[in-house]
Amino acid sequence: MAAPYLVEANADLDHLLTEVARTLQLTPDQHKLAVKHYTAIADWLGASDSPLARYEPRIYPQGSMALETTVRPLRRDEYDLDLVCQLLATGRTALDVFDLVYNRLYSHATYKSMIKRMNRCVRLIYAHDFHLDIIPGEPDAARGPTAIVVPDRDLKQWTPSNPLGYVAWYTDRSRESLVALRKKVDPVPRPTPVEHKPALTIAIQLMKRRRDVWCDAETAPRSIVLTTLAAENYSGTDRVFTALAQIVAGIQDRVAAAHPYRITVCNPTNKDEKFCESFAGPGCYEAFKNFINQLERDLTRIREADGLSEIEDTLGDVFGEEPVQKALRSYTAVQKTKRDAGALEFTGAGLGGLSIVTPVSGIAHAAPTHKYYGATGDPRR
């Protein structure tokens, strides 16, 4: 069983982790593109002359786009946007409602060639590593004001869901303000810059990246499972590193307590929506446990890295080299910028220290500007 980390990680390390996360965000262009596609589909589904019009479709995002936990794909993997097309109660069967939405999309000249039936959504596959899943739904008032039911084609029936409830729950867990929550509901929100994202969100993005780097694609844990477990085990900290440590320790405890059975992971706002069904696939639960244990080892290595070279090696192994190089560079560049401006503070207390991100503890002084002297490096240059 993992011991929870009692020591707060330092702000400089957290800054590096946040900078790594920065490189994982969707680019502004990718985000714009997603919004463009989303809006076009919402307009088509909701058009006043659409066969769906009588059911007053309400369109809203779910999943990582709604939570801002999207991570840029590694290699060729596609990234996706989930949107819910919630209709008024139609009185029709689940499969009928699925077809209703499918047919509306199919009847569009462009979407016709991109369309694919999935088990619980209609997928539109765009040319540039991007797909959009439209999830039909109807209200499920018995389970709650935001609860819905979604057609499941394999089961030939409705299954419970609650995407809006999930977003509200996640926002509360991540300690974001309600203003931020309103931003997340219709339409797709403007992207929040990474430095304003809650520590929980950055931690989840890093976990997803680590999963993409380390896990086999076939058995890799689903994002909704990781996100839910992370939010459940996060116990409130501003430090990304500490959040990761809390999450990993919490998941390990739960896995151990459930043994020899598997843990349950469901939508906290709709217990009948079981995300853990993805553990049923061959090798999937094993892969999930292995991933969590690997994360623990990763965190230990990061914590024990001594100096920039070791940190670069370690973070590079864990998250990939490119994000780490950028992060380290910007960190070291901050020092020079501050120094040149005469704004670099230092202390001589304890082991001394420069204030790059973490304010110095102890009496602070401003370092006078100066320029190094001497050979610049390669005499061949």
Stretch touching other proteins by CB under 8 A, among 99-107, 147-155, 289-297, 304-312: 304-312
Minimum CB separation of residue 321 from other proteins in Å reads 11
Minimum CB separation of residue 33 from other proteins in Å reads 33
Q: Which of 8, 10, 32, 341 binds other proteins (CB under 8 A)?
A: 10
Helices 94-106, 28-46: axis angle to 10 degrees equals 110
Asked if residues 181 and 168 have their Cβ atoms less than 8 Å apart, the reply is yes
Read off the tokens for 214. 């380390």
Q: Which of 112, 259, 271, 365 binds other proteins (CB under 8 A)?
A: 365
Considering the rule CB under 8 A, would residue 304 count as an interface residue with other proteins? no
Residue bearing tokens 């192994």:
317
Considering the rule CB under 8 A, would residue 327 count as an interface residue with other proteins? no
Q: Which residues neighbour 311 within 8 Å (Cβ) at sequence distance 6 or greater?
A: 13, 16, 302, 305, 328
Minimum CB separation of residue 244 from other proteins in Å reads 16
Q: Which residue, among 133, 104, 122, has the nearest Cα to 38 in the 3D structure? A: 133
Considering the rule CB under 8 A, would residue 367 count as an interface residue with other proteins? yes
Read off the tokens for 242. 């500490």
Site for other proteins in 331-360 (CB under 8 A): 332-333, 335-336, 339-340, 344, 346, 348-354, 356, 358
Minimum CB separation of residue 84 from other proteins in Å reads 43
Stretch touching other proteins by CB under 8 A, among 123-131, 176-184, 291-299, 366-374: 366-374
Stretch touching other proteins by CB under 8 A, among 8-16, 197-205, 211-219, 287-295: 8-16
* Cα atoms found within 13 Å of the Cα of residue 299, Cβ hemisphere only: 25
Residue bearing tokens 């990061």:
302
Q: Which of 4, 11, 65, 171 binds other proteins (CB under 8 A)?
A: 11
Asked if residues 17 and 202 have their Cβ atoms less than 8 Å apart, the reply is yes
Burial of 183 (0-12, 13-18, 19+ CB in 10 A): middle
Burial of 27 (0-12, 13-18, 19+ CB in 10 A): exposed
Whichever of 48 and 376 has its CB closer to other proteins, that residue is 376
Q: Which of 308, 342, 343, 359 binds other proteins (CB under 8 A)?
A: 308
Q: Which of 16, 94, 124, 284 binds other proteins (CB under 8 A)?
A: 16
Q: Which residue, among 17, 23, 14, has the nearest Cα to 193 in the 3D structure? A: 23
The site for other proteins, by CB under 8 A, has a size of: 48
**Torsion sign, CA atoms 329, 335, 340, 341:** positive
> Phi, psi (5° rounding) for residue 376?
-90, 0
Considering the rule CB under 8 A, would residue 378 count as an interface residue with other proteins? yes
Whichever of 75 and 381 has its CB closer to other proteins, that residue is 381
Q: How far is CA 344 from CA 273, 334, 337, 371, in A?
A: 52, 9, 8, 14
Considering the rule CB under 8 A, would residue 7 count as an interface residue with other proteins? no
**What whole-number distance in Å separates Cα of residue 144 and Cα of residue 125?**
33
Whichever of 281 and 362 has its CB closer to other proteins, that residue is 362
Whichever of 141 and 333 has its CB closer to other proteins, that residue is 333
Stretch touching other proteins by CB under 8 A, among 25-33, 56-64, 167-175, 364-372: 364-372
Whichever of 7 and 142 has its CB closer to other proteins, that residue is 7
Asked if residues 293 and 1 have their Cβ atoms less than 8 Å apart, the reply is no
Stretch touching other proteins by CB under 8 A, among 107-115, 166-174, 196-204, 306-314: 306-314
Return residues touching other proteins (CB under 8 A). 10-13, 16, 305-309, 311-312, 325, 328-329, 332-333, 335-336, 339-340, 344, 346, 348-354, 356, 358, 363, 365, 367-379, 381
